[in-house]
A = this chain, B = another copy of it.
Amino acid sequence: MRLPQPSEGLVNSLYQRRHQLAQLVDFPVLLWSGGVRSRNFPANIYPFRASSHFLYFAGLSLVDTVIHLEGGKLTLFMDDPDPDSALWHGESLSRDRLAEIIGANSAFPKSELTQKSHNAATVRVQDPATLAEMERILKRPVMAPAAAVGQDLALIKAIINLRLCHDDAALSELKKAATVTVKAHQAGILATPTASHESDIRAAMEAVIIAHNMTCSYNSIVTTEGQVLHNELYHNPLKSGDLLLADVGAETPGGWAGDVTRTWPVSGTFSPTQADIYDIVLAAHDACIEQVKPGVEYRDIHLLAAAVITEGLVDLGILRGQVTELVEKDAHALFFPHGIGHLLGLDVHDMEDLGDLAGYAPGRKRSDRFGLGFLRLNRPLAPGMLVTIEPGFYQVPAILNHPSNRETYRDMVNWEQLEKFADVRGIRIEDDVLVTDSGREVLTAALPSQRHHLTK
């Protein structure tokens, strides 16, 4: 057997999901898994990962495969492997066997696909070769989700409706991803005393993910330059006095993601200034998680983080003024320039391929405020939603040295006082929080975030 099989529970969930879809749309749907992408030559490919929408209804990461969904029925379209491929890739499961495993009603080679393509809605995939195939089969352009109209747009809205709140099979996978993500962070913390470079910590963390037969759900951030928000370099030596920021997550073979950040001192000891700022970020983190429950607006949780961070910075003498007024003027965003978090599911930024159709409730739009515009999620919370809570503090030169910011916030920031905190370049604390009927469950709670757990 050449492919790990999904559990019984997943097969039932796949059945449920497509019947739920049938209640939301009355037209046929075709979803493509996507194709492999070559790295430096055709046979040297990036590890394949099927489209999330395909995975949600098909469960298995099958290359170059299409599913047809209509009235709760699933038809699988894929070609049996070339007989010669058994030499190089071993015996594969046949199309009929795979159809049985995912509970498909029928299965055909891809040459039969055109017969089922009439009037079908779809969602665009990421790889251009598959996009070309979609357009050829459907005999029409397939627009990016932000430009989708008609049935395609109706399908996108139906999928969002389903994927926003996770079912039991999804939660089972997301908890596995969270568990391994936590273990990766524990390994990173443990590896620090003997590590010489950022890359050593990254290696210890990703080794845990690889050992559990998972993959990274995004390119790891493991850096002493936490002020570079999407840092993907790992070459810096570790220096005593540095803080190390690690934003690393595991993804299960079925595609479900974890996403956790911790920040800890290289030397095993926070400096007094690092401890002061850490505790402000932690206070925001704890206060925000406490607010996660059904009906609460995620935007309000973001603003709560802004208020807690602002209050802390006023107490430290870094910001000057009334907390409410400072937040209204986006002074918090000088140091906390991103949103409090995002949806988490099959994608680490769940359904981000659909743009703000997923993240923003109908009728809502991105704010043009400096302190709100980067918020990726603006919906009331509902049971089954999984979100990250990830407040942070950063000294980003591009923000703090920007002439217009210097001018706007001249009197709100005590720049001299700020200089005393030069050894705090970037801190973020991030957990994965499930909205439950009665409140919340922190899926990554096994990883402590208090300072004394992160020091020697």
Instruction: Give chain B residues whose Cβ lies under 8 Å from the Cβ of A44.
Output: 218, 347-349, 352
Q: Separation in Å of the A230 CB from the closest CB of chain B?
A: 5
**Inter-chain contact B90/A225, CB cutoff 8 Å:** yes
Which of these, B46, B212, B233, B234, contacts A37 with CB under 8 Å? B46
**Does any Cβ of B come within 8 Å of A49's Cβ?**
yes
Instruction: Give chain B residues whose Cβ lies under 8 Å from the Cβ of A208.
Output: 203
**Does any Cβ of B come within 8 Å of A40's Cβ?**
yes
**Inter-chain contact B88/A41, CB cutoff 8 Å:** no
* A213-B223 Cα distance, complex, nearest whole Å: 13
Instruction: Give chain B residues whose Cβ lies under 8 Å from the Cβ of A225.
Output: 90
Which of these, B3, B46, B87, contacts A398 with CB under 8 Å? B87
Contact status of A43 and B87, CB under 8 A, knowing A129-B128, A211-B199:
no
**Does any Cβ of B come within 8 Å of A210's Cβ?**
yes
Instruction: Give chain B residues whose Cβ lies under 8 Å from the Cβ of A203.
Output: 206-211
Q: How many copies, total? A: 2
For A191-216 the 0/1 string (1 means CB < 8 A from B) is 00000010110111011111111000
Q: Separation in Å of the A198 CB from the closest CB of chain B?
A: 9
Instruction: Give chain B residues whose Cβ lies under 8 Å from the Cβ of A206.
Output: 203, 206-207, 210
**Inter-chain contact A89/B352, CB cutoff 8 Å:** no
For A63-106 the 0/1 string (1 means CB < 8 A from B) is 00000000000000000000100111111000000000000000
Total chain A interface residues with beta-carbon distance under 8 A: 67
Which of these, B46, B204, B213, contacts A207 with CB under 8 Å? B204
Q: Separation in Å of the A161 CB from the closest CB of chain B?
A: 19
**Does any Cβ of B come within 8 Å of A453's Cβ?**
no
**Does any Cβ of B come within 8 Å of A121's Cβ?**
no
Instruction: Give chain B residues whose Cβ lies under 8 Å from the Cβ of A199.
Output: 210-213
**Does any Cβ of B come within 8 Å of A229's Cβ?**
yes
**Inter-chain contact A202/B197, CB cutoff 8 Å:** no
* A124-B320 Cα distance, complex, nearest whole Å: 58
**Does any Cβ of B come within 8 Å of A4's Cβ?**
yes
Contact status of A2 and B46, CB under 8 A, knowing A86-B398, A199-B211, A211-B199:
no
- 11 A-B pairs within 8 Å (CB atoms) are namely A3-B233, A4-B235, A40-B52, A40-B126, A41-B126, A42-B126, A44-B218, A46-B46, A89-B228, A199-B210, A207-B210
For A211-249 the 0/1 string (1 means CB < 8 A from B) is 111000011000001011111111100000000000000
